[in-house]
Structure 1
Amino acid sequence: MTKIGIDPGHGGSDPGAVAASGLQEKDVTLAVGLDLRSRLQGAGLEVVMSRTGEADVSLSDRAQLFNREQVDLVVSLHVNSADTTTANYVSTFILAPGGQAEKIAHAIQPELVAATGWPDGGIREANFFILRQTDAPAVLVEMGFISNPATASLLATAATRQSLGRAIYKGLAAYLGLPPDVPVVPADIQGNWAEAAIRRVIAAGIMAGYPDGSFRPDQPATRAELAAALDRILARLK
């Protein structure tokens, strides 16, 4: 089974870049990372996360985790920042050209541009620690500029975060030969006693999560929600 390493940048006491609005990079990268994990798991892949919540994880620990778990590739998630408020593009970084990381980057980058409509910053090279120290091919995605007020306002929304997660998934799917779209499995079902059942009804199209990406498994269903689920079952029976 293919194993993917996802590295939501920063976290814990390290907020990363901070927008004028107060939006923190660490929150954006985690939300996109969790969304991406759900899509990859929905496609049957194993996922290793460097963090799944508010945690201080050193760069060294991140690389060591992925190497120890022998992942097949690594995607590190970040949001760019600049001294000017007008910087506005999305880009994907690799350590050097000519390897599998470049192929992965070329699969992801156009999907990001298409999903966001932001200018294409292209495939770039950088000596970033996570790119240099992981044994597996690694790319680092800079998801726009948090220093740009318009971009920051979009990055604060669940819709944009889900769009970014879907774009990165589609790039990875093209590289790995996976279906271009899979049902998103909400992160809040992880560990729930009915997780397996919830995954099955989502995969069957009978139920889905809420627009904010949650499923709220312990929340009572309304009569309308029950009727909608039963209607989908009836449609399949017919």
Structure 2
Amino acid sequence: MKRNWKKWLLLSAVFLLVFPYQALAMKVVIDPGHGGRDSGAVGVSGLKEKDVTLDIGLKVRQALRAKGIEVAMTRETDTYVSLQDRVSFTNRQLADLFVSIHANSTVGGANGNAKGTEVLYYDAAFPQPDYPASPEMEALTEYSKQLAQSLQSTFVTEIGTKDRKIKPDAAYVIRKGTIPSALVETAFIDNVDDAKLLASPTGRTQMANAIADGIAKLAPVTFPDTLGHWSRDAVLRMYKKGWISGYNNMFRPDDSITRAEFVALMNKVFDFSKLSPLPGKNNPSPDSFTDLSRNHWAYNQLAQAIRLNILSGYGNGKIEPDKPISRAEVATVFQLLREASGKSGPATPGTSQPFTDVSSGYWAEKYINTLKKTGIINGVTSTTFAPEKDMLRGESAALLDNYSN
């Protein structure tokens, strides 16, 4: 590939926090460079980069599948795919890693003296104003660097090519994506010795196996969409605890959580089957709510919460299970569960108000104040709680993290 440039997808999130994330095999996008009308570099004896990269890419797919790794290809035939389309395709795959395969060349064509292997990655420490990266790739620098190093060291060890090291770069496909990404410059297509390796079916197979081995050594990043997010540490701790989970290895920390999702999450934490109903309230039968179908995915958990007097409707005959739950409602449900589980006495109004937007007499004031005093819940600022604001998934993780400490 000639070097002539200058140097957050909407997911179905119903099960995001509620059901255990089933660990899938790692998924990798393999991107054979160039293709179709774009031949890439042309080297010794007319060897075309697009043909070399496709053959190696298909062999990488075969080697990765043999290791139990799922693979998606940006192209499988000699077709042209734009750089933008390669990135868009990759983003749709919900994959863990992206690896682009190329053959290097020196400006000036065949018979170059340069030889060897190098792997490129985007490094936020070396920004290029004319070639801005996506926010995700800036946050993923360390992981892309780890991927690049794993590919580089494995490749030169197994193939014996000259080690040209890993290099920060602003190639489009490694700076515009959303997952750890690297671009492998396998060897120089215009160098006589390197070209022999690139032209050899055996050499290409060995290169493909080396790339696959370098990929397999690297574990995927857990919840890459939380990198740089304030809630990441809490999310990871609660994930390890088994209380929260992701969907296709994404967590979506800034998405709202619905009433049904939060109740189902609370069932994982408190185990409703072990609790007795709170006294003093007589909620109607779950089936009396006109919008709560027995076919609803969280019907059993919602019905249990209603019978425990933990969850109430809105006075209009509806429970609104799929409505985002507010921060005030979260505080109420969580404190009532602490009481039902014997971990807390009844909530009491505070003698002073820690939040300027939660006044004395506000319907959830005592629940908010009780959780604030115990350090379980925090405001959106040091003086405001935003009680009517939707509870976010990252905030839910922080709540559980505070509770578990």
TM-score by length of 2: 0.43
Matched, 1:99 2:168: no
SS of the residue corresponding to residue 142 of structure 1 reads: strand
The one-letter code matched in structure 2 to 1:86 is: N
Counterpart in the other structure of 2:154: 111
Structure with more strand by fraction:
1
Matched, 1:87 2:114: yes
- The 5 Å alignment of 1:143-158 reads 143-158=186-201
Return the offset for 1:20: 3.1
Structure with the greater alpha carbon radius of gyration: 2
CA-based RMSD = 1.4
Counterpart in the other structure of 1:31: 55
Counterpart in the other structure of 1:224: none
2:97 paired residue among 55, 59, 73: 73
Which is worse superposed, 27-36 or 82-91?
Answer: 82-91
Counterparts of 1:172 and 1:48, CA distance in 2: 14
After TM superposition, where is structure 1 displaced by more than 2 Å over at least 4 residues in a row?
none
Counterparts of 2:158 and 2:75, CA distance in 1: 25
Counterpart in the other structure of 1:198: none
Return the offset for 1:16: 0.4
Counterparts of 2:90 and 2:112, CA distance in 1: 35
Counterparts of 1:54 and 1:14, CA distance in 2: 10
Number of residues paired by the alignment?
177
The one-letter code matched in structure 1 to 2:186 is: M
Counterpart in the other structure of 2:350: none
1:5 paired residue among 5, 22, 29: 29
Return the offset for 1:91: 0.3
Counterparts of 1:103 and 1:66, CA distance in 2: 19
The one-letter code matched in structure 1 to 2:180 is: P
1:61 paired residue among 82, 85, 101: 85
SS of the residue corresponding to residue 18 of structure 1 reads: coil
Counterpart in the other structure of 1:215: none
Counterparts of 2:197 and 2:186, CA distance in 1: 11
Counterpart in the other structure of 1:52: 76
TM-score by length of 1: 0.72
The one-letter code matched in structure 2 to 1:91 is: E
SS of the residue corresponding to residue 176 of structure 1 reads: coil
Does structure 1 retain, via aligned residues, the 8 Å contact 2:116–2:194?
Answer: no
Counterparts of 1:154 and 1:73, CA distance in 2: 26
Higher relative contact order (CA 8 A, sep 6+): 1
The one-letter code matched in structure 1 to 2:49 is: E
Counterpart in the other structure of 2:180: 137
Identical columns (%): 38
List runs of 5+ in structure 2 lacking aligned partners.
Answer: 1-23, 125-140, 221-405
Return the offset for 1:112: 1.1
Matched, 1:165 2:189: no
Structure with more helix by fraction:
1
